[in-house]
């Protein structure tokens, strides 16, 4: 199960429309940082712990700086709870995030602390904005949990207006960090995929516990006489039937 600790949850979780405006209009360096990790030891991605949402300019500086492990551990550290000694492993950076992969398999009986300090990063790279530091305590699981399942989709009516704007998909447990739009599409009654029906954001519009995904139908295709509507047409046409398809390979 992938876990996330976010900064500024009080801003990012006030609703899908606000989040959409925030995503498009706030500068990159103001976007929230978050810790992500997979706590299941038998998962292929168990070993990667990441800080995401960093400004790409600082990520580029980190890459160019060719930092030593000691320098890395001043601002990004994974250690046994109660100890300040950093875990041995490999650090990397790219695509607006920094990563750590442990050299040895973590012990499921031991708690580990993940910490990230923007103040320490600022000392290495003066000018980097000082944000709220991140810290969380985790334990790894030896056995993966049950398969995640779709519990419900709203609205549930068989008859919807052609200008329906959003759908909500509820899952049985917290979802991972794959791009949801790689696994969701809409088909018409002939089984043909509708082209580009969604407002696609790679991280998706999730509830805080990542159990509910909000899907927005592209408003430019709903509103008449605007670019997407005129060039591609509406997503839904009155009197026709459609299927919202969620891949079981997700």
What are the tens digits of pLDDT across the range 49-86?
Answer: 999 888 899 999 999 998 999 999 999 999 999 998 99
Exposure on the CB side of residue 174, measured as CA atoms within 13 A: 14
Q: Concatenate the DSSP letters of all residues of 56-94 into one string.
A: HHHHHHHHHHT--HHHHHHHEEEEETT--PBPPEEEEEE
What Rg, from alpha-carbon coordinates, does the chain have? 21
pLDDT at 174: 81
Q: How far apart are CA 119 and CA 140, in angstroms?
A: 28
Q: Of 56-70, 87-101, 135-149, 212-226, which gets the smallest average pLDDT?
A: 135-149
In the sheet where 97-102 sits, what is the strand order? 2-6, 34-38, 49-52, 97-102, 89-94
> What does DSSP assign to residue 191?
S
Residue 184: cis peptide before it, omega within 30 degrees of 0:
no
Q: How far apart are CA 164 and CA 236, in angstroms?
A: 9
pLDDT at 131: 81
- In the predicted structure, residue 91 carries a pLDDT above the cut 90: yes
pLDDT at 146: 58
Percent of the chain past pLDDT 70, that is, above it, reads 82
What are the tens digits of pLDDT across the range 183-205?
Answer: 899 998 888 988 888 888 877 88
Exposure on the CB side of residue 158, measured as CA atoms within 13 A: 0
């Amino acid at each position: 199960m992938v876990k996330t600790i976010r900064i500024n949850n009080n801003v990012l979780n006030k609703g899908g429309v606000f989040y959409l405006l925030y995503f498009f209009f706030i500068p990159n360096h103001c976007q929230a940082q978050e810790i992500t990790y997979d706590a299941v030891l038998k998962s292929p991605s168990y070993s990667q712990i990441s800080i995401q949402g960093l400004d790409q300019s600082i990520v580029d500086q980190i890459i160019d700086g060719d930092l030593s492990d000691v320098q890395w551990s001043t601002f990004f550290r994974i250690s046994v709870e109660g100890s300040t000694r950093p875990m041995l492993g490999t650090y990397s950076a790219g695509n607006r995030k920094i990563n750590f992969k442990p050299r040895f398999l973590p012990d499921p009986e031991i708690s580990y602390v993940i910490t990230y300090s923007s103040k320490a990063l600022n000392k290495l790279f003066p000018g980097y904005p000082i944000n709220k530091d991140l810290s969380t305590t985790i334990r790894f699981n030896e056995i993966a949990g049950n398969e995640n399942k779709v519990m419900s989709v709203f609205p549930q009516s068989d008859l919807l207006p052609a200008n329906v704007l959003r759908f909500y998909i509820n899952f049985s447990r917290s979802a991972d960090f794959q791009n949801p739009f790689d696994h969701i599409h809409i088909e018409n009654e002939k089984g043909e995929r509708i082209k580009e029906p969604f407002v696609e954001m790679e991280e998706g519009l999730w509830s805080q516990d990542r159990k509910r995904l909000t899907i927005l139908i592209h408003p430019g295709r709903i509103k008449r006489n605007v670019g997407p509507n005129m060039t591609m047409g509406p997503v839904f046409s009155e009197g026709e039937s459609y299927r919202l398809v969620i891949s079981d390979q997700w």
